[in-house]
Amino acid sequence: MTTIDLIGAARPRKPPWLRVSLPIGDEYERVKAKVNALGLHTVCREAACPNLAECWGAGTATIMILGDTCTRGCRFCNVKTGNPRGEVDWLEPMRVAEAVRDLGWRYLVLTAVDRDDLCDGGALIFANTVRAIHERVPGSRVEILSGDYRGDLAAVDIVMDAKPDVFAHNLETVRRLTPSVRDKRAGYDQSLKVLAHAKSRAPQRYTKTSLMLGLGETGAEIETAMDDARAVGVDIFTMGQYLQPSKKHLPVAEFITPQKFDELGRIAKGKGFHQVVSSPLSRSSYHAEQAFPGA
């Protein structure tokens, strides 16, 4: 099988369990063509996700709305940073819904760049897109991977009023490392506040968060993050290996073994999460549909 090295020869060579297949195949080409034709962005490509081949080959993807330029500069993220200057494509929700319908997706993960240049952080576009998908593809499920809206809970309300099936927002890393990993406008407690509010608005709907491992966190810090997430009602917890997208991003401190991920997964399950996904290649939206048996 042809493989690629996602970190690159100039950086520490990754272990064999992190080698992935090149994206090929008819279904991958069909998804790529539809996404390109509709002028949509996917986090799969923008963030250099290692699961692109598997997910696109299975006919699923994570659509990224509100453009390809993020107003934040997190030190782990491959999405480009800049100032979109308030530009919004109000027809984008319809194009996303059209893609979901035409590609036959029954479960979509919808994410967005951070848009601190907008008064609502992009919450209304998120809500409009969720509603458009539910209207055009009855029976489909929509998971949103949301930003923190700088802690503006009214913006969270706008999104939750659209009734996404899952509200996800990532802690990304443990409390101690947050200032050095995430943009200064983000915050560990701010993220917990957003997750708590989303759960309080719709207790019957799932909330979700994710950690990247291999940035220098300790086992005790990981468990504390699990406890913090459960304390605010998070239902789904995922963990995956951090991979350095380029030389300008944070280096990998440690490659976590599959066995260690299995152990951490068992610990998380013991804390009462509805679903736990824990493996080196896991990302926040990886196997997301499995939260719903039969999806």
pLDDT digits (tens, 9 = 90+) for 221-266: 999 999 999 999 999 999 999 999 889 999 999 999 999 999 999 9
Q: What are the angstrom distances between the C-alpha of 61 and each of 75, 100, 249?
A: 24, 10, 25
Return the bridge partners of 257, or none: none
Percent of the chain with pLDDT over 90: 66
Helix (H, G, I), strand (E, B) or coil at 250: coil
Q: Is the pLDDT of residue 283 over 80?
A: no
* pLDDT recorded at residue 156: 98
* pLDDT recorded at residue 106: 81
> What does the mean pLDDT of the chain come to?
87
Q: Give the total residue count for the chain.
A: 295
CB 238 within 8 A of CB 278: yes
Return the bridge partners of 42, or none: 63
Contacts of 21 (CB under 8 A, 6+ apart): 1, 2, 3, 53, 54
* pLDDT recorded at residue 271: 98
Tokens of 121: 């952080």
Domain 3-9+21-291 has CATH 3.90.950.10: no
Q: What are the angstrom distances between the C-alpha of 74 and each of 7, 79, 160, 167, 210?
A: 18, 9, 25, 21, 15
* pLDDT recorded at residue 56: 57
Q: What are the angstrom distances between the C-alpha of 24 and each of 2, 5, 150?
A: 10, 16, 39
- Tell how many helices (H) and how many strands (E) occur in the chain: 10, 12
CB 146 within 8 A of CB 112: yes
Q: In the chain, what are the domain boundaries?
A: 3-9+21-291
Could you report the per-residue pLDDT of 167-205, keeping only the tens digit for each?
999 999 999 999 999 999 999 999 999 999 999 999 999
CB 111 within 8 A of CB 145: yes
Give the whole-angstrom CA distance, residue 272 versus residue 202.
19
* pLDDT recorded at residue 4: 35
Using alpha carbons, select from 143, 167, 165, 166 the residue that is nearest to residue 155.
167
Could you report the per-residue pLDDT of 15-64, keeping only the tens digit for each?
988 876 655 566 667 677 766 776 666 655 555 555 565 665 555 667 88
Could you report the per-residue pLDDT of 118-163, keeping only the tens digit for each?
999 999 999 999 999 999 999 889 999 999 999 999 999 999 999 9
